[in-house]
Structure formats: C-alpha cells, structure tokens
Structure 1
Amino acid sequence: ETLHICYMHTPMRYAWDDCQKYTSDFYFPRLIKKVVPFFMNYIRLWDKVSADRPDKIIANSNFVSRRIKKYYQRESEIIHPPVNLEKFYSGKKQEDYFLMVGRLIAYKRFDIGIKAFNKLGLKLKIIGRGPDLAKLKKIAGPNIEFLGRVSDEKLAKNYAQCRAFIFPQEEDFGIVAIEAMASGRPLIAYKGGDIVEHMEDGKSGIFFEKQNKEDIINAIKKFEKMQFDSDYIRKSVLKFDKSFFKAKIKEYIEKELEKHKKKLKNFKGIFF
C-alpha cells in the first residue's frame, strides 16, 4: 500500500465559503452563475470524498489547517510554503508610492485599495494581471498606475522602494505579503487570514478591521505618523525561506514513511 500525502493550499473556496462571492469572479453567463449554487452540494460531496483519500494532509498555513478541520474533519500538519527570499532585499531609499501585487480578481479586493487611494490622492502602483483589469482601470484615478506583469528584478525593486505594501484581502497564506516583508517594507493589511500569524501590528505593519476604503484610509493616516524598522521586518520572515521548507518537508515525509514502511514494498528511501 502506497503512502498518500497531500500538500493542501486550501479547501475549495467556491464550494465551502461564500459560493456567490467566488462564482462572481468567473466570467460565466448570468444564468450559469445562478445555477451553480444548486450543484454545490454535489461538488462538496465529491470534494469531501477526495479529501478523505490521502493518508496524511499537510496544510500550508494555520488558517488552512483550521479550514481543513472545519470542512473535512481532518487533522493536518502545518508546513508553510517556500518563499525565495534571495530575490528580495531592503531598499536604502524609498520612493513616494504604495504598492499592491497579485492577480486582479474580485476577492483580492484591489477595488477598495483603489477607492482609498482615489480619496487620499496618494500614488499607488499595482502589479499583476487578471479578468478585473478593465473594471479596475475604470474606477482608478490618475494617481493609480497599473504595471501589469513585470520581471522578477522589477518586482523586487518595486517592493524595496515602496513606502508600504497594501494587502486588503483574506489569504490562506499570502506569499506577496511575505515578499514585501522580506523587502523590509511594512504592511497595511486586513486583519484576516493567515497574515495575522506573521505580522505584528505596530512593528511590521498596521492592521485594519473591515474590508472597506474607510478602514484603509484610516490605517494609512496612522501609518504616516509612524516609523518602522526595515531590518526587523525582514528578519521576521526569514523562517519562510525555501531552505527551511525543504528541510521540514523532508523530515515530515521521512517520519511518516518510517511509520508506514512495513506496509510498503521495495522501500528504498527518499532523495532530494
């Protein structure tokens, strides 16, 4: 019998969370969007059966581990995904702009970031592509710059030189937020998802409570009066480097194989 280990990034969002919220992200005809919720019971059943198949589950964050327990009634090991921290660095000098990065889809909440910066008149750069690009451009003022997809070098430079990173979404882990912190930049982040485990309010950024433009505006005004230590912020996320991930995943698999090897045929070990 083969040992089946699943590394899970998240339970199916549009099946288990707010179905209407997530299906609105897809560009299907309106009739199909109305029909989809009726099939969700079958999708959830199929997903639950699939989630029961692995012998062990690894969750990519504490937040996902709790969702696995809630929806699948299963325990999971927590091993955070790797971040290539070598690509990112603290800038010696910041320029006068804020930054958002990610796929341009509804649940990432670029819309409230844009509305907040329209009101403030501060410069905001947005890196990424997605189906909401045209919609977001329509509501963006002249102080909002869309850079599209950029090279790794340009991404690292934009992280390093921004004043702060705007993170208004609820994420299962939030790699872009970790990349920004690896660049020594403070976050202005929604207090939800796994980022609450990794960002210290007042030390590596500022949390806001509600996903609306007013809360972002208030957080930015608070940010303007504060100072942050770039070295402290970067050091706080070094634990996510890919070398740590490799060591942890190897240790976990070898431990589980050791428990399971009596059931395995032709066991020859594991190599990285």
Structure 2
Amino acid sequence: MTRPRVAIAHDYLTQRGGAERVVVALLRAFPEAEVHTLLYDADATFPEFRQARVVTSPLNRIGALRGHHRMALPLLAPAASRMRVDADVTVISTSGWAHGFDVRGRSIVYCHNPARWLYQGADYLGEHPRAAVALALKALSPALRRWDRQAMARHDTYLVNSTVVRGRVRSTYGIDAPVLFPPSVVSVEGDQVPVGPFAPGFHLVVSRLLPYKNVDHAVEAFAALPDERLLVIGHGPEEERLRARMPANVAIVSNVTDSQLRWAYRHCVALLAPAIEDFGLTPLEVGAFGKPTLALRGGGYLDSVEDGVSGLFFDSAGAADIAEAVGRSRATDWDAGAIVRHGEGFGEARFASTITAAVDRLMHVPADR
C-alpha cells in the first residue's frame, strides 16, 4: 500500500520552545514530510529542521520579522491564508496561524492553545504591555477572531495537548477534541556541556522570557533566598528588564544547546515552573533526569506534574509562594526513580503512534467538505 504524502504545518520556527519540539517529533514520525511555516530562522530554532525541507511565506524574506514576529501582526493572517500546502494529509501544529493555511487534502489540527493574543490578551501582554502591540491588538482583534474561527472550523480532525486546552478549544470554537499529550523529546543520553556560572545544586527555570511566564516573580523570590541559586535558561522581550533587577544569586543564559540543557537538568535541584502553561513540557524533561518540578497549580501542569511524586504545587505565582515552595522541596525526600517512571507515560513513541493512526484513519474516511 502506498503511504500517503504527509506535510507538517506550524506557525513559525523562530525559537526553541515546546511547540517546536512537537514539530521535531512530527518530523521523526514523518521524516519525508515538508514543513510549512510563516517564518523560519535556522539559527534560532532546533537544528533538526536543517535536515528537513522547510517552505516559508514571502514574509520570511524580511529578516527583522524572523527575530520579531510580533512586528508582523497585521500581515500574518493574510500571509497564512496564502500558504498553500499540497499533500494527502497535513498535520497542523498551531497556536494561532497554521490552521489558516490553504491546505489541499485532509487535515489534522494539533492545537497547543487558541491564539493567546486574541482570547487571553491580558496574559499575553502581561503587566507591562507595549503600547504599539496593545493598540494593534485592539484594532485588529475583531477581524482576526472571525478569521481564526473560520480557519479552525474547516479541518477534519482535532487534537489538543492538555485538559485545560481542551476546555479552551471547546469554549472558543465549539470543538470537543481528544487530548494527546505532547512528547518529551530531550534525551538523557548524549553529551553534557556545563552552562551558566553556578556549580551543581541550583534551581532552574527553562522558559521564554515573556510577561505571562512569571519569571520576574521567581527572580524576586530568590532575592529573598540568598543561600539559594537560580539559573534561568531562556530569551525573549523581558530579558533586559530581568537582567536589570536580578540579584547576584540569579543568572540568565540564552540560546543553549540540548547538550547544555541536559547538563542543567542533570545538575539542578529542582525545576521552577511559575507560569500558567498550556501544557508545559519542561517538568517531563527534567523528570527524565529524576528531578522534581515546583509548579504553579493550574494549566497544563495539572496533567504533567503528579503532586508529591514528580513535584509539588504552589497556589499563586507570587514571590512569597515560590520561596515557600523552595523550602518545602528542600525538606522533601524525592524518589528519583518514581519521578522517572511518572514521565515514561508521556513518551514519544505513544505520541507518534497516535498521530500516525489518525493519518491512516483519515485516508480511509470519505471527505465531506
């Protein structure tokens, strides 16, 4: 039997985040697939994409947009609508734009979250909104919401990455989609390269530096914990502000390799996860090394963290609650083996087999559109 031609669509490949790791896993499941995306910066995202055929929109010719995609906000919906994808089945990884591509053939949407800037604007902008972005969102949101809902409604099959996102997709689009947890794809095997200024025994944050990620609250918490150290791995528009206020026991490093990330996971005491995430892969990544996660109680962490086994929860993202969670974790005798076993239920093989089965089912179901 001839295998279907599969394509992969994703919003943009300009960073190293959890959604981009999902695309890496999709490429492993469908190694012959073309990857269609609005913007692609090979130096800023995972090296696996260099081995793939990546098809971009004309916007990618504007170098400034690859590093600052928010500048392109008024152009992204029209550009997405003109992205033609010709395949038997397209697997669409989206949290905003790729579900609007002009897909020829059948389609599976894997939704990381409804567009945060349209439906969770306060979280997206955070406490320090940039005036130009806020004004643009206010002006464009009504038309973008119409475009977004029409684009989402035209696909064949839907999957979501967490229980909380299932609820958001249901309330936003009226679609009740099954949950397929994303895979943890950072291997414990391989080189480990030291990163940051601290010796082993630090706490760790791995996050894009955006307002809603609450990294500033973690930095504030460690200002009150002078005997502890915090290593922040990430980059984003909040980096300059965070560097200006961080105490001597906090360090920020950006653009790390997987070898450096493995070293950080192996040598940290625990991961701090202070944001409300759609899913949040980092607890599973650090858990593969037997290390616990201290997570804000909410969002996708309710799926990926087992309280008292693979980590513990705190109830608000305030600095005092984060500091208290650090103290509780220090007093806990964590079972590294139990943490590893918890994460084994989120493996890449399960993810790939579910996606592959969904593709096969689509090829045997008559199209109704």
Q: Please tell me the TM-score bracket, short chain as reference.
A: 0.7 to 0.9
Does 2:159 correspond to 1:58?
Answer: yes
Residue 153 in 1 paired to residue 259 in 2?
yes
1:31 positional shift: 4.9
Q: Does 1:7 pair with 2:113?
A: no
1:22 counterpart residue number: 124
Deviation at 1:103, TM superposition (A): 1.2
1:73 Cα shift? 0.5
Q: 2:243 — aligned with what?
A: 137
Q: Does 1:45 align with 2:146?
A: yes
CA contact under 8 A between 1:82 and 1:240: conserved in structure 2? yes
Q: Say whether residues 1:186 and 2:292 are aligned partners.
A: yes
- 8 Å contact from structure 2 (residues 288, 340) kept in 1: yes
Aligned residue for 1:34, secondary structure, equals helix
Contact 1:24 1:33 in 2 (8 A): no
Equivalents in 2 of 1:225, 1:171: separation in Å?
26
Matched-pair identity in % = 26
Letter matched to residue 291 of structure 2? R
Report matched runs for 1:73-152 at 5 Å.
Answer: 73-87=174-188, 95-121=200-226, 122-152=228-258
Give the one of 298, 304, 318 matched to 1:212: 318
SS of 1:4 mapped into structure 2: strand
C-alpha separation between the residues in 2 aligned to 1:170 and 1:224?
23
Q: How many residues align?
A: 257
2:169 counterpart residue number: 68
How far apart, CA to CA, are the structure 2 residues paired with 1:236 and 1:27? 38
CA 1:33–1:143 in 2, change beyond 3 Å: closer, same or farther? same
Match of 1:145, SS?
A: strand
Kept in 2, the 8 Å contact 1:83–1:175? The answer is yes
- Structure 1 contact 88–179 (Cα < 8 Å) conserved: no
Of the structure 1 ranges 33-42 and 222-231, higher mean CA displacement relative to structure 2 is found in 33-42
Please tell me whether residue 236 in structure 1 is matched to residue 342 in structure 2.
yes
Counting only pairs closer than 5 Å after superposition, residues 230-269 of structure 1 correspond to structure 2 as 230-258=336-364, 260=365, 262-263=366-367
Q: Which has the higher contact order (CA 8 A, sep 6+)?
A: 1
Q: What is the CA distance between 1:253 and its match in structure 2?
A: 2.3
Tell me the equivalent position of 2:48: none
SS in 2 for 1:146: strand
Deviation at 1:224, TM superposition (A): 1.7
The verdict on how the C-alpha distance between 1:51 and 1:87 changes in structure 2, with shifts beyond 3 A counting, is: same
Contact 1:186 1:233 (C-alpha < 8 Å) held by counterparts: yes
The letter for the 1-side match of 2:209 is: L
CA contact (8 A) 1:85 1:238 kept: no
**Given residue 139 of structure 1, which amino acid in structure 2 is its aligned partner?**
R
Q: Say whether the 8 Å CA contact 1:20–1:37 is kept in structure 2.
A: no
> CA, structure 1 residues 210+250, in 2 after alignment: closer, same or farther (shift >3 Å)?
same
Measured in 1, the distance between the counterparts of 2:298 and 2:354 equals: 26
For 2:94, the equivalent position in structure 1 comes to: none
2:84 alignment counterpart:
none
Q: Mean alpha-carbon deviation: is it higher for 112-121 or for 245-254?
A: 245-254
Matched, 1:197 2:303: yes
**SS in structure 2 of the partner of residue 15 of structure 1:** helix
- Supply the AA of the counterpart residue of 1:186: P
More strand, by proportion: 2
Counterpart in the other structure of 1:225: 331
Structure 1, unaligned runs of 5 or more: 265-272
Root-mean-square deviation (Å): 2.3
1:74-119 deviation digits (Å, cap 9, x = unpaired): 1212222222253469x9xx93210011211111111000000111
TM-score, with normalisation over the residues of structure 2? 0.65
Once the two structures are overlaid, the 10-residue window that deviates more, 206-215 or 146-155, is 146-155
Farther off after superposition, 66-75 or 237-246: 237-246
Which amino acid in the other structure matches residue 111 of structure 1? D
| Counterpart amino acid of residue 311 in structure 2 | G
How far, CA to CA, are the matches of 2:332 and 2:220 in structure 1?
23
